[in-house]
Amino acid sequence: MQVLKFGGTSVASAENIEKSLAVATAALAQGPVVMVVSALGGTTDALINAGRAAAAGNVEYRTALARLHERHQTTATLLLADSAAEAFARLEKHFVKLTRLCDGIFALGELSNRTLDRLMSYGELLSSQLIAAALVARGQSATWADARQLIRSNSRFGMAEVDFKTTTASFKQFQADNPAKLWVVPGFIAADAQGNTTTLGRGGSDYTAAIVAAALDAEVLEIWTDVSGMMTADPRLVRGARPIPHISYQEAMELSHFGAKVLYPPTIQPVMQRGIPLWIKNTFSPADYGTLVEVEPPRTAAVVRGISSIGNLALLNLEGSGMVGIPGFSKRLFEALARERVNVVLITQSSSEHSICVGVNSADVERARAVVDEEFATEIAAGRIDPLRPEFDLAIVALVGENMKDHPGISGKLFSALGQNGVNIRAIAQGSSEKNISTVIQAADVRKAINVVHEAFFETAYKQLNLFVLGAGNVGGKLLDQLARQQQYLLEKLGLQVRVVALASSRNCAVDDDGLNLANWPAALAAAPAQSLAEFTQLVIDKNLRNSVLVDVTANSETTACYAPLLAKSVGVVACNKVAASSEYAFYAQLKSLAQEFNAPFLFETNVGAALPVISTIQDLVRTGDTVRRFEAVLSGTLNFVFNNYDGSRPFAEVVRQAQAEGYTEPDPRLDLNGSDVARKTLILAREAGEIMEMNEVQIQGFLPESCFEGDVEAFYAQMLVHEPHFRALYDEAAATGKKLKFVAQYKDGRAAVGLQQLAPDHNLYDLRGKDNAVLFYTDRYVDQPLVIKGAGAGGDVTASGVFADIMRAARL
């Protein structure tokens, strides 16, 4: 005997029913078949809504019933063609009764649970008789069996409990009286001892199939649905979710309890007791293997079998010093909840016995609060216990697997993955069987949490990094081009999927949840709408994607305002922008603190020396116990390029223009030539060395005449031409003694200064060529011979590569 259950989507239309009939008739080759069927997809909800409308005095219920009538007649016509007349007659009888029932509800203005069960039963009665007729029309000897005559339950309407002994006897007798090889049984419905129609809970058709399989000692129970088995996670939330080919009853039960929609939780118990395999298959892809639920699935190296979640959760916290050391508090709590039929989903209690916390459905909170506060009224009045405190908008994410038992590190890996992405855990529960680790989190974090955990335990192929980029100018554009060239390499060689989810300029913001196509990002950005910085910040927060990183490739002081709120949400920050790290020390320190507190990377290597490893080196020195006593540096590739190329043979202004044309300067070259840019870099290095210092403490010894700072950039160039003799004199004075001009940054004994210097040939910075930067660190370890970092320190490509490197560091953290 085989029991095949077909869900609402499998019988939602004539076309889908044809597929289900094909599956059932093919199974006949292996032996007798019982088809358990749900109502046509959406019918049960339509019946509930019609009943509620009738009870509310709304005559729209008649329109709803008319639509259901028409849908079933249309389906019958398509399935039965010339033999539809007899089916129409049966359908008509049911709809006459259904209409009378709703008219009665309308007249009474009341919809009791008992009446609702009777109302909902028509969905399965209609579909099962229609399918039985379709089988007969195709030459099959099919028998329709009324589940209400076979499945005996108690009178708990809406969620009836089955009398298995009586039910099994009924099925055995029916089998003896009806030796047909093919039965059709309506799912979801049963009857109590008085003959009143009951239902087995939403999803109860699965349960019906399990009851039938257990009663008839079936060889297999097959659940035919619209997905190819149970998945490692909800595919609506996790794109990388994949089918689980084999799973144990216990694992399936855990996953189904915590929201795996493919299986109704009570289904497993009847077949598990009889050791009947349960196979979950896809009606629309019958060749797919699906998931086989069995007593002992084949051994697998995977530690975790699947991840599931349940929403609409609330936590109920009972706290008070009066609970400590007093037996019976938990018993009284659970008895009170049981009296109100409040189902407890999760339990956790502190070892101090000062509090106990239970998870319940949000809809049950007010009933639970009332009954618990009543139960503990005396203790609450005496101040020994606080009134019950509920917390709303929560969900459970559960990690399930038989192999988790005695396998160390699973909890640590779970909590680490969640913590690194800013998912706060409100409560934890793990049974001694170690098959399930349940975490209670904010409902808004469920999608991110499941993706993060799935990535940690299942997606060994790649890790996803989601970038939100501010700035698409010279450096930003080159960064995007570098990312585009390297995307495939990173995925294949490093297992890293880098996606630019949003790209914002000063005017537009392009967004794509699947990642922008970096081959044509300029067109996408040009066509995108405008967005403020506040809106961009909220966008990053609302997306709530795993492994999110803000990449600021601007020089804008306003953009730094979004760093703190994003770091506080565990969004990493990669800043090419020097403003944040060189602003007021309090803000710099706040960002550092937030990064540490919320486990979010705050990286700004390109603030000093473009792609040179200057900041990471000084951080490594400090972390390993060294002390930076002083440093000397040429920190402006722009200024080094200018003074290396100026020899008096052409105007100083012309050399500066060349530097700007080759992309070495800021859009306004005065920001480079006035020394403020070097001062910012010097301040950042001093702070990273451990100095508490403000920008006004860095002395700037300028070399530009004051008139160069008046007017716009073109006026600046004009004034440099006017003052060419000044620049020529600076050069000649140095050249006369065999020296070179270098704009040097210095730090020593807590003091910092930047300015133009004449360096002799024996100076370590004398031979610095082109646009190179160099930093000389003198520390307790490097006393006589400094630690030298030297290389190209300017240029869009070089700086973009430094930002890219920081992004890679963020991916590894």
Q: What is the pLDDT of residues 397-440, one digit of tens each?
A: 999 988 887 788 888 889 989 998 989 999 998 865 678 899 99
Q: Does 327 score more than 90 pLDDT? A: no
Which of 166-170, 291-295, 396-400 is predicted most confidently? 166-170
Q: Does 778 score more than 80 pLDDT? A: yes
Q: Please say whether the beta carbons of 716 and 673 come within 8 A.
A: no
Q: What is the pTM of this model?
A: 0.75
**CATH superfamily to which 614-794 belongs:** Dihydrodipicolinate Reductase; domain 2 (3.30.360.10)
Q: Please say whether the beta carbons of 359 and 396 come within 8 A.
A: yes
Burial readout 10-31 (b: 16 or more C-beta within 10 A, e: otherwise) = bbbbbebbebbbebbbebeeee
- Reported as a pLDDT band with limits 50, 70 and 90, residue 615 is very high
Q: Please say whether the beta carbons of 796 and 663 come within 8 A.
A: yes
- Reported as a pLDDT band with limits 50, 70 and 90, residue 85 is confident
The reported pLDDT for the residue numbered 148 is: 97
Q: Does 300 score more than 80 pLDDT? A: no
The reported pLDDT for the residue numbered 261 is: 64
List the one residue out of 579, 534, 539, 524 whose CA is nearest residue 556: 579
Domain ranges of the chain: 2-225, 306-445, 463-600, 614-794
Q: What is the mean pLDDT of residues 12-30?
A: 95
Beta strands (DSSP E) in 285-388 are 291-294, 306-319, 344-349, 355-361
* Rg of the chain on CA atoms, in Å: 36
**633: which strand partners?**
745, 775
- Reported as a pLDDT band with limits 50, 70 and 90, residue 813 is confident
The reported pLDDT for the residue numbered 431 is: 66
Q: What is the mean pLDDT of residues 192-197?
A: 96
Fold of 306-445: VC0802-like (3.30.2130)
Burial readout 338-361 (b: 16 or more C-beta within 10 A, e: otherwise) = eeeebebbbebbeeeeebbbbbbb
Q: Does 795 score more than 70 pLDDT? A: yes
For 154, the 3-state DSSP assignment is coil
Q: What is the mean pLDDT of residues 593-620?
A: 95
485 vs 261, residue with greater confidence: 485
Q: Which run of H or of E encompasses 198?
A: strand 197-199
When mean pLDDT is compared across 58-67, 117-126, 641-650, 661-670, the lowest value belongs to 661-670
Phi, psi of 677 (to 5 degrees): -65, -45
Q: Does 460 score more than 70 pLDDT? A: no
The reported pLDDT for the residue numbered 263 is: 78
Q: Please say whether the beta carbons of 468 and 548 come within 8 A.
A: yes
Active centre residues (catalytic): 681
Beta strands (DSSP E) in 226-265 are 246-248
Burial class (CB in 10 A: 0-12, 13-18, 19+), 769: exposed
Burial class (CB in 10 A: 0-12, 13-18, 19+), 93: exposed
The reported pLDDT for the residue numbered 260 is: 60
The CA-CA-CA angle for residues 286, 291, 297, to 5°, reads: 140
| Mean confidence (pLDDT) of the chain | 92
Q: What is the pLDDT of residues 104-156, one digit of tens each?
A: 999 999 999 999 999 999 999 999 999 999 999 998 999 999 999 999 999 99
- Reported as a pLDDT band with limits 50, 70 and 90, residue 256 is confident
Which tokens in the block code for residue 176?
A: 């003896």
Question: What percent of the chain is predicted at pLDDT more than 70?
Answer: 98
Q: Please say whether the beta carbons of 211 and 187 come within 8 A.
A: no
Which tokens in the block code for residue 668?
A: 């306004």
When mean pLDDT is compared across 402-411, 506-515, 599-608, the lowest value belongs to 402-411
CA distance 311 to 345: 11
Question: What percent of the chain is predicted at pLDDT more than 90?
Answer: 76
Q: Does 259 score more than 60 pLDDT? A: no
Q: Does 396 score more than 80 pLDDT? A: yes
**CATH superfamily to which 463-600 belongs:** NAD(P)-binding Rossmann-like Domain (3.40.50.720)
CA distance 307 to 232: 6
Q: Please say whether the beta carbons of 354 and 387 come within 8 A.
A: no
Burial readout 51-73 (b: 16 or more C-beta within 10 A, e: otherwise) = bebbbeeeeebbebbeebbebbb
List the one residue out of 120, 129, 119, 116 whose CA is nearest residue 37: 129
The reported pLDDT for the residue numbered 310 is: 87
The reported pLDDT for the residue numbered 433 is: 62
Fold of 2-225: Carbamate kinase (3.40.1160)
For 355, the 3-state DSSP assignment is strand
When mean pLDDT is compared across 37-51, 72-86, 200-214, 252-266, the lowest value belongs to 252-266
Work out whether the CA dihedral 716, 721, 726, 731 comes out positive or negative.
positive
Pairing of strands 628-634, 772-779: antiparallel
- Reported as a pLDDT band with limits 50, 70 and 90, residue 733 is very high
